[in-house]
Amino acid sequence: MSAPSPFPAALLIFDFDGTLIDSKYDIATSVNLTLRDLGLPTRPQEEIFSFVGDGVKRLLRLAVGEDHLDRYETALKIFREHYLAHCLDTTRLYPGIEQVFAQLGDVRKAIATNKSLEYTLRIVEGLGVREWFAAIESPEESSELKPDPGMILRVLATLQVPPERTVLVGDSTNDVRAAQAAGIRSCAVGYGYGKPEKMLALAPDYYCQTPEDLLRLFSRTTS
């Protein structure tokens, strides 16, 4: 993909896991603690990493496995306790994200994540970055998981920002599809959990290999 011209965004909507934060180790720890408590075999970290991105319900369905779905509701309750206790053990902002937010301070920012709001707020508050975001949206029901555009449309309505000045930044095909469904621009990032080749096959408007690349793309002062 050739280098695009800078775009004067008024609003950047960010995915969370794999885009702003590296949370996969705390998620894997909490999943395996849940499986242990259920008396089920634990799973390799890399396998659990591949389950991340479509919300905690799908994560746990995959982790528990088809043969033990009768334990799924119990798993949800157990996981909640473990994850709230461990979600800040190793989870950190990706290197460079803090610089991006500091230098793009005149651009409004929001989160639209498939992660539950309870977990998202615990992490943004624990990392001390709650004030960075003008809005934080999680699915109100399972049908709103990205690639559904519902969360994005709520952010646009809440902040009263035109779609043509808005970009969704994310690390998965779900993010690119959600942006396209909402009628906004998409920026795929290559440093997260998703597969760049799959995202690029959907023709996102922009692609950033590193967080620092975002600085070269988005500025309200760039004409």
The CA-to-CA distance between both ends of the chain, in Å, stands at 21
15 noted as active-site residue: yes
Dihedral pair phi/psi, residue 133, rounded to 5°: -115, 130
CB 85 within 8 A of CB 34: no
Dihedral pair phi/psi, residue 56, rounded to 5°: -70, -30
Tokens found for residue 173: 């095909």
Catalytic residue among 15, 17, 26, 171: 15
Give me the numbers of helices (H) and strands (E) for the chain, helices first please.
Answer: 10, 8
DSSP state of 94: P
What is 120-155 written as a DSSP string? HHHHHHHTT-GGG-SEEE--SSGGGSTTSSHHHHHH
Catalytic annotation, residues: 15
